[in-house]
């Protein structure tokens, strides 16, 4: 007989998910900082945050983001509409860009390339900084 799916290890993963729910587009160490402040009872290491993130990415619950600043950021993949980002090069504000250029492009390359995913980011000055 099948066992119920294990709930093993879900605690730290849930903590990370909860952190990402509160602090969107966060890095591993930003997530750790948030956990330290809000989950004073639970003791988590940076190693475990990375392990949880890697698992959550592998299971498509979380998406890694690269804004070319030397550290990976993460966002929830759950129920979030597909979107991209605008990053302010002065204050590092990250804004959501609901426009996606993908559909126009997809058709035009489909004969030579089988697309799995795409990256698109705008870098520039946000409303406050320009």
* Contact set with a copy of itself (CB under 8 A): 66, 68, 86, 89, 95, 97, 99, 101-102, 104-105, 108-109, 112-127, 130
- Closest by alpha carbon to 15, among 63, 48, 54, 47? 48
- Which among Zn ion, a copy of itself, DNA, none contacts residue 32 (Cβ within 5 to 8 A by kind)? none
The residue ranges that bind DNA (CB under 7 A) are 3-4, 6-9, 11-12, 27-29, 43-48, 50-52, 54, 70-72
Binding mask 59-98 for Mn ion (x = CB under 5 A): ----------------x-----------------------
Residue 88 binding Zn ion, by CB under 5 A:
yes
Angle at 31 between CA 27 and CA 35, to 5 degrees: 170
Q: Is residue 121 within 8 Å of residue 84, measured between CB atoms?
A: yes
- How far are the Cα atoms of 64, 76, 113, 129 from residue 90, in angstroms, in the given order? 22, 25, 36, 7
């Amino acid at each position: 007989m099948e066992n119920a799916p294990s709930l093993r290890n879900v605690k730290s993963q849930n903590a990370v998910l909860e952190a990402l729910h509160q602090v969107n587009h966060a890095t591993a160490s930003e997530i750790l900082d948030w956990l330290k402040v809000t989950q004073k009872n639970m003791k988590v290491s940076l190693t475990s945050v990375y392990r949880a993130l890697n698992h959550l990415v592998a299971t498509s619950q979380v998406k890694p983001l690269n804004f070319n600043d030397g550290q990976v950021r993460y966002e929830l993949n759950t129920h979030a509409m597909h979107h991209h980002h605008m990053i302010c090069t002065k204050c590092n504000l990250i804004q959501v860009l609901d426009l996606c250029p993908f559909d126009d492009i997809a058709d035009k390359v489909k004969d030579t390339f089988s697309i799995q995913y795409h990256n698109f980011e705008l870098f520039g000055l946000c409303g406050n900084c320009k």
